Amino acid sequence: MKKLDRHGHWPDQASAVAWIALTTLGLGQSLQVAVVAWHHGGWAFLPALLLALLLVALPLRLGEALLGRRAQRALLPGMADLTREADAPRFYRAWAWGTLLFSLLACALAGMINAWSLTYLFHMAGSGGHFALDYNATMMRWGILLGWVLSVAVAMILSHHGVLRLPRALHTVVIAVLTMLLVAALVQVLHTGFGDSVGSRLGRASTWWAALAVALPWGGGGVGLWYVAAVLMPGTVALPALATRAFALQGLLLLLAMLIVAPSAVLIADPRALLSFLMLDLPNALASGSVVVAILVYASLLLASWVAMVALLEPLRLELEERGWSTPLLLTGLVLAVLAATALLILPWHLHRLLQILQGLLALALALFVGWAMKISHARKALALPDETTYNAWRIAIRILVPLALLALAGQQWRAGF
């Protein structure tokens, strides 16, 4: 390893599992997927989601992780080594650049979610649990700005000291988040029940397209999480076990989120634009229920989004550490990068559409490189699947099934206007 061990490495896979699951929750994706599920059949949506995860998201995540395991370097130099090793064209290195950009945009999104969660929780505490909030008020705008500054400051401190590479810290946050969401789910179930499934919707094509569309980001792809996790874990940890346990913990978070949003999901028209969904639609929808639920949901989101910010800063941090940047210069570079990404995020355009396009292109590039350009022996050794049958199934998926599914999804989204 080259200058990537200043903060040490995780001793096992449990920390990486927590890191990935909390990051996807901190980006609001578990809540987003829960609302999409209720829009497409409720509990009956889960089989379609599970199939999309197994056939498309899981092969991609394993492919990204095996690149990190094989390279053992930061994204840009690591991908440069891998393309040289495979005698592959240099344009495949664009995957690393795109992933680095996407991780920064996602970090900016997590910072906005964190700032909003802080502002919202302070508002509810000061107003005696009153849900409504005037978005045009000067105090509201200053609150979000100050919340963003505090969010970035805390994330930089945690990142600089490598706090989230400490297993005990990550496990404590996971327990706290799970406890709060479990209490919120129990309160909601006592008031509204488990929600009703609409099984007939499982036969609709829109349900399967929706499952595929949400499986990709919810799996944690496109932002370098699995690549960095493979770099920071011991080489003895099996990547399939990491992927399986990460999806299991994410699944638990999704089940709790579905119980929480069950009575109010129908009030949310379109959860695709995450910032609008988390800052406008979800608080208004939760207003029909218990104030305890709203507080616990946004307190969980607050903790998880801090983890997400630190996790999403790791690809750039590793990059700058490997280049030998001093600590003051490194911190300045991280702050400026987050500031620039946040400026892009709040510009008046439909950025979620651009993020969808970027994520799709990155997933396709990853599948093509791992499935077609990388040497079979190198992929097999890094992946370390338990038997030949499982390896062949993964190879068919990453070479053929995943690219076809991504192209078909892109075509469907283009026809539907995203």
pLDDT of residue 348: 57
Helices (H), 161-238: 167-192, 205-218, 225-232
- pLDDT reading at 199 higher than 60: no
The pLDDT tens digits of the residues spanning 101-147 come to 999 999 999 999 999 999 888 888 877 666 666 655 655 678 888 99
The pLDDT tens digits of the residues spanning 293-313 come to 999 999 999 999 999 999 999
Rounded average pLDDT over 201-206? 70
Q: Identify the weakest region by mean pLDDT among 181-190, 222-231, 268-277, 322-331.
A: 268-277
pLDDT of residue 67: 96
Q: What percent of the chain has pLDDT over 90?
A: 59
The pLDDT tens digits of the residues spanning 372-387 come to 999 989 999 999 888 8
pLDDT of residue 5: 53
How far is residue 81's CA from residue 72's CA, in Å, rounded to a whole number?
10
pLDDT of residue 239: 93
Q: Which domains are assigned to the chain?
A: 13-415 (1.20.1740)
Q: Which tokens sit at 398?
A: 């990453």
Q: Is 334 helix (H, G, I), strand (E, B) or coil?
A: helix
How big is the chain, counted in residues? 418
pLDDT of residue 3: 45
The pLDDT tens digits of the residues spanning 1-25 come to 444 555 667 887 889 999 999 999 9
Buried-state track 283-303, b at ≥16 Cβ within 10 A, e below 16: bebbeebbeebbbbbbbbbbb
Rounded average pLDDT over 273-286? 83
- pLDDT reading at 220 higher than 80: no
Q: Are 66 and 370 in contact (CB under 8 A)?
A: yes
Residues near 367 by beta carbon (within 8 Å), at least 6 away in sequence? 59, 60, 63, 398, 399, 402, 403, 406
- pLDDT reading at 351 higher than 80: no
The pLDDT tens digits of the residues spanning 27-52 come to 999 999 999 998 888 888 999 999 99
Return mean pLDDT, the chain: 88
Q: 417: which DSSP letter?
A: T
